[in-house]
Structure 1
Amino acid sequence: MRQVKLGLWGADVSEVCFGSLAISPLQGRVTEAEGISVLRYALEQGVNWIDTAEIYDNYGQIAEAIKGHQDARIVSKSYSVTAEEMRLSIEKARTALKRDTLDFFLLHEQESALTLKGHLGAWEELLRAKEKGIVRWIGISTHAVAGVRAGALLPGLDVIHPILNYQGLGIIDGTLGEMLDAISFAADLGIGIYAMKVFGGGHLASDPEKAVAFVRGVSGVQSMALGMSSQEEVDYNLLLLADKEVPEELQKKVKHRQRKLYIADWCQGCGLCLEACPQGALSIEENISVVDAKACVLCGYCGRVCPHFCLKIV
C-alpha cells in the first residue's frame, strides 16, 4: 500500500482511507460484526487510517476493529457549533474510541466562510485541543467550493476533506473546475487534502478505474476515502490502486453492485429528511418524500433524522 504525506506537516498515511460510513448503522449495509470483520481485513491489507464521524454512530465498532492495530489513525467529525458542544464531541470520541489523543478531528460539512463563522466557538475549541495535544490535526469536511476556500484560510487548519469526482457530482455551489481551483489553492498553502465521494455515491461505479485515476491525477490531493462494506470491495479497490488487473470474477461481485435510496410507503411527508440532505435531492410530492436519484450521493444522512425509519440505502 502506497504511503503518502497528508500536506506539508501532516501524517504519513496510506493512499486509501477506509470510509466507515459504509459499515455504520447510518447506512445499514452490514451488521456490526460484519463491519468489524471488513475493517480488520482492510487494516491487515495495509490501509492504516479510518474516516468516521459522530453522526455515523460507530465508534464502538471501530474501537473493536482496531484491537491489535493501535497504530491505525482515525478521523472523526462533528457538527458542533459552540465550544461546549465541541468539548463534549471530543470527549465522546476519546472515550468511545479508547484513545487519550485523537489523530484527526474535523468540523463536519462546512459550506462557506459564513458557516465557519457560525461555528467559530467550536473551531476555537479545536485549536485549544490541538494546543493541549488532545487532537493532533484539525480541519473541515465540505461539499462546497466556498467551503474549501474558506477552510484553507482558517488559522491552524491542517486538513480538508472535500467532495471530488470526475463529474463533479455532489458539489453544492459550483463546477468541477471551480472545485479543482479551490483544492489547488488549499494545497499550495500546504494543507492536506483527502477526497470523498470518488465514485459519486455509486453513480460512477460502472467505471471505477476512471474514477480512481481522475482523483489520483489531481495535483494537491494526497489520498481518498473509499467506502467499503465487504472484503471483495477492499480487494477490488486495492488492486485498482496498485495498478493490477482485477480478476473477472471479482469484477462481477463488486463492479455492478448498484445501490439506491429506498423510501418506504409509510412515509408521513414530515420533511425532516429534506432539511438533512446536503444535496437537495429530496422533495415532497403528494405528502410523501421522493428522491432525485441523479442528485443523491447515498450518504444516508436523511435516514438518521427520519422518525419513522422510512429511508435507507439498499
Structure 2
Amino acid sequence: MVQQVKLGWNGPMVSEVCFGSLAVSPLQGRVTFEEGVDVMRYAFERGVNIIDTAEIYANYDQIKAALQNFPEVRVISKSYAVTAQEMVQSIEKARKGLNRDVIDYFMLHEQESALTLKGHHEAWEELLKAKEKGMIRGIGISTHAVAGVRGGALQPGLDVIHPIINKAGLGIIDGSLQDMLEAIAFAAEMGLGMYAMKIFGGGHLAKAPEEAIDFVRSIPGIQGMALGMSTREEVDFNLNYIEGKPISEDLRQTVKYRERKLYIADWCQGCGRCVEICPQGALSMSVQREGCGEQAEVDPASCVLCGYCGRVCPHFCLKIV
C-alpha cells in the first residue's frame, strides 16, 4: 500500500503519490479515453487516493469515469481564472464535470509571484468564499517560480502549494535549484501542504527515475509528488519503488523511459500564440525556411513537455511525440 502522508499541518492524510492526470489527458494524447480510465482505476486499486488535474487538461469526464466506485479518492483541480465570475464558472465546471458536490482542492494555476496573485485577487476571494460554503475543502496555487512559492506562502487562506522541483532544477523560471529549495523551506515553516510536480523534469531526468524520486522525497516540507503515469506498468514501477518492493528486469525494460520531444509541424503559420503561453520560455519565433516567414521553434533543453502550447495552436501544429 502506498505510504500515507499528511498534506500540511491541517490537511488530510493522502497517498504520497498523487496521480498526475496530464499524462492521460487529451492535452498530451498518449492514450485513448478508455486506456486512461483503466490506468487511473488501476492506480486507485493499488492505493493512490489523490489525483491532480486542471481545467486546461480537458479531462474531467475521463476522471469522472475512473472515479466510479472510488469515492474516497481526493481530487485537485486548477484554473487560470482572473475575475470572480471566471472562478465561479471554473468551480462549477469542475463540480459538474467530475460529478462531485465538493472539490477537495482548487488552485490558481501557474502563479509566478505575489504580484500575479494580486492580479488574481478576485478569483482568490471567490475561492475563499467557495471554501467557506463547503464547495471546496482547500485552496492553493501551482507554480514554476521561486517567487510563486514565496508569495503563496504568505497568501491569506492558502492551504497547499504545487511547486515544480527536481534534482536538476529544470523548469524553474526565476532562480536556481537552491533558491527553490530555500523557498520551499520557507513555505514549510508556515505548515502548508506541498506536493511536487515535474520531478522527472519533463522526461529529461527519466533515465534515472529512482534518483529523481529519491531527491524529491528527501526534501523537508514536500509531503508528496504528482507522477504522470499512462500505463499499468508505469504505475507498478513507480509504486513498487516507493513501497520498497522488487522491480523485475522485465518491468524495468517495459517502462524504460524513452526520449520525448515537442514536434512542431512544418505548416506552422507563425501566429505566436504558443510562444505567449509557454511558461518556460522554451518557444520562440524564427525564420525556418526562406520565403516561409516566421515559425515557432523550441529549445529542447528548456521544454518540460507540459503540452500547454498545443492547446492554443489554431492549426494543431504542436504535439509531444
Asked if TM exceeds 0.5, the reply is: yes
SS of 1:218's partner is: coil
1:159 aligned partner, one-letter code? V
Q: Percent identity?
A: 68
Q: What does the per-residue CA deviation read over 1:75-98, in whole Å, with 9 as the maximum and x for residues that have no partner?
A: 000000011110110011001111
1:152 aligned partner, one-letter code? A
Residues 1:55 and 2:56 aligned together = yes
Counterparts of 1:235 and 1:310 in 2: how far apart (Å)? Answer: 33
Counterparts of 1:243 and 1:173 in 2: how far apart (Å)? Answer: 35
Residues 1:301 and 2:302 aligned together = no
* CA shift for structure 1 position 257: 2.0
Q: How does 1:182-197 map to 2 (within 5 A)?
A: 182-197=183-198
Counterparts of 1:52 and 1:213 in 2: how far apart (Å)? Answer: 24
SS of 1:13's partner is: strand
Residues 1:311 and 2:318 aligned together = yes
Q: What does the per-residue CA deviation read over 1:32-86, in whole Å, with 9 as the maximum and x for residues that have no partner?
A: 1110011011101100010000000000000000100011000000000011110
* CA shift for structure 1 position 250: 1.2
The equivalent position to 2:299 in structure 1, one of 277, 283, 292, is: 292
SS of 1:259's partner is: coil
Runs of 4+ in 1 over 6 A off after TM superposition: none
Counterparts of 1:89 and 1:105 in 2: how far apart (Å)? Answer: 10
Counterparts of 2:298 and 2:247 in 1: how far apart (Å)? Answer: 33
Counterparts of 1:159 and 1:255 in 2: how far apart (Å)? Answer: 32
1:227 aligned partner, one-letter code? G
Q: How does 1:238-253 map to 2 (within 5 A)?
A: 238-253=239-254
* CA shift for structure 1 position 245: 2.8
1:114 aligned partner, one-letter code? L
SS of 1:250's partner is: helix
- Select between 281-290 and 156-165 the one with higher mean Cα deviation: 281-290
TM-score (norm 1): 0.99
Q: What does the per-residue CA deviation read over 1:191-210, in whole Å, with 9 as the maximum and x for residues that have no partner?
A: 00000000000000010010
Match of 1:279 in 2: 280
SS of 1:221's partner is: coil
Q: What does the per-residue CA deviation read over 1:17-36, in whole Å, with 9 as the maximum and x for residues that have no partner?
A: 00000000000011111100
Match of 1:122 in 2: 123
Match of 1:261 in 2: 262
2:152 aligned partner, one-letter code? G
2:149 aligned partner, one-letter code? V
Q: How does 1:160-179 map to 2 (within 5 A)?
A: 160-179=161-180
* CA shift for structure 1 position 229: 0.5
Could you list the runs of 5+ residues in structure 2 that have no partner in the other structure? 288-293
Counterparts of 2:210 and 2:42 in 1: how far apart (Å)? Answer: 22
Counterparts of 1:113 and 1:14 in 2: how far apart (Å)? Answer: 30
Counterparts of 2:238 and 2:158 in 1: how far apart (Å)? Answer: 29
* CA shift for structure 1 position 137: 0.5
* CA shift for structure 1 position 258: 1.8
Residues 1:37 and 2:38 aligned together = yes
1:293 aligned partner, one-letter code? P
Match of 1:112 in 2: 113
* CA shift for structure 1 position 244: 2.7
Counterparts of 1:159 and 1:256 in 2: how far apart (Å)? Answer: 30
SS of 2:269's partner is: coil
Counterparts of 1:161 and 1:236 in 2: how far apart (Å)? Answer: 23
- Select between 128-137 and 241-250 the one with higher mean Cα deviation: 241-250
* CA shift for structure 1 position 226: 0.3
Match of 2:147 in 1: 146
* CA shift for structure 1 position 243: 2.3
* CA shift for structure 1 position 297: 0.2
* CA shift for structure 1 position 256: 3.0
SS of 2:106's partner is: strand
What's the Cα RMSD here?
0.7
* CA shift for structure 1 position 255: 2.2
Q: How does 1:194-213 map to 2 (within 5 A)?
A: 194-213=195-214
TM-score (norm 2): 0.97
SS of 1:154's partner is: coil
Counterparts of 2:270 and 2:262 in 1: how far apart (Å)? Answer: 16
* CA shift for structure 1 position 269: 1.3
